Amino acid sequence: MSEPWERAIVLVDMNAFFASIEQLDHPELRGRPVGITNGQTGTCIITSSYEARAHGVRTGMRLKEARQLCPDILQIPARPERYARVSTDIMTALESVTPDLEVFSVDEAFLDVTHCQRLLGPPEVIARRVKDTVREASGLPCSVGMSGDKTTAKWAAKQHKPDGLTVIPPWEAAARLAPVPVTELCGIAGGIGGYLEQRGVYTCGDMAQLPVSELARRFGNLGRRIWLMAQGRDPTPVETRIAPPRSLGHGKVMPPGTRERAVILTYLEHMAFKVGTRLRRHDLLALRFFIGLRADYGWIGGTYRTAVATDDSRQLNALCRRMLNEHWSGEGVSQVQITALEPCPAAGQLELFDAGQAPGAADQARVRAAHGVMDAINRRYGEFTLAPARLLSRSDMPNVIAPAWKPGGHRQTV
């Protein structure tokens, strides 16, 4: 047996995850071009099968454009609850390989198998075991990348899709990455890429010519990490604990150019209801909220504060009306967004007064009790079994599973 690697990181990347689940559950869809949309009335491709991708269909593309490229594409409404269950099954099964697991998103996970090598075998054997584990848990294929750091493992997983396996020994990582454009690495988008391009760094191999101190001055610790990432030496550990959220929000797309105040208020109240419910579900409160509408020229709105930290949808709805009065001038809008900023655990809130002496304590207790009953009923019988009357006319577009959804912790929601 060869010597164990000093670090051994695996990245699991599910292939066209949502579309693959639909093809698994509906055999008549296998081998056919499939485009997943948010409900039957959705107009944007959430993801597509590889058969559709072969025609140029891509995530984020309008359905109309997708049909021009691929006239035979089949529109399938998303089933986020089903996708969440499959994701949970996969992540739970991967814990049988190693407890050092980082759920990166709904369809990706890092595994640190450094300490499993003598038990499980050489790297390629472990990588194949990971693929088999995913297949047994879900019936789905996945692509696996393996190397000595997270960035190289993630890049490796993209090299042979679908159903691929790419193992890059740590001592080969720098040479394999050298001709790769830096913007192909996870975390280096257009802004950082442009900064690097101005300094003659186009490929990962170019990075060694740039002093690490220059990146550190501009980006701090992130700059040092970027410099090491390009050379196959990303020091970032696999994070096994899900960090508390820095924000928690919901948004929804409206018909383009919506100008009816009543319709906009309905969408805003819908999102306020969801944000409040989600805060209570995770025992969180927030003091500041971003409330916005998207117009052709950008976002309208801003950050608003409540008098005390809250999880009450009614207070959020009052802020929404205030935002409309202050910022909206009747222009057409196409999206709403409400985001709780820096939510904190409810148990950690310090009270200025004792509970029995706080102003409005009795009213607050009644509101909390009412919320508890409503949330319990909605969990059992459906999300909007009890809801404000205005939400009877809410959008029929179903929930969408967020890209950052994770089974466990604050992000377990759709």
Identified catalytic residue from 95, 108, 214, 331 = 108
> Tokens in use for 189?
């988008």
What the block records as the tokens of 120 is: 């499980």
Sheet holding 108-112, edge to edge: 101-105, 108-112, 9-14, 142-147, 165-167
Establish whether 108 is a catalytic residue.
yes
CA distance 32 to 29: 5
Closest CA to 168 of 179, 188, 154: 154
CA–CA distances in Å: residue 366 to residues 87, 305, 369, 372, 388: 38, 23, 5, 10, 17
Local structure of 108: helix, strand or coil: strand
**In this structure, what are the phi and psi dihedrals at residue 396, rounded to the nearest 5 degrees?**
-85, 5
| DSSP one-letter code for 49 | -
Q: With contact defined as beta carbons under 8 Å apart, do 51 and 32 qualify?
A: yes
Pairing outcome for strands 108-112 and 101-105: antiparallel
d(CA 331, CA 243): 39
Strands (E), 138-235: 142-147, 165-167
Give backbone dihedrals phi and psi of 35, rounded to 5 degrees, phi first.
-120, 125
Task: Collapse the DSSP code of 344 into the 3-class scheme (helix H, G, I; strand E, B; otherwise coil) and give the result.
Answer: strand
Largest CA distance in the chain: 71
Q: Catalytic amino acids?
A: 108
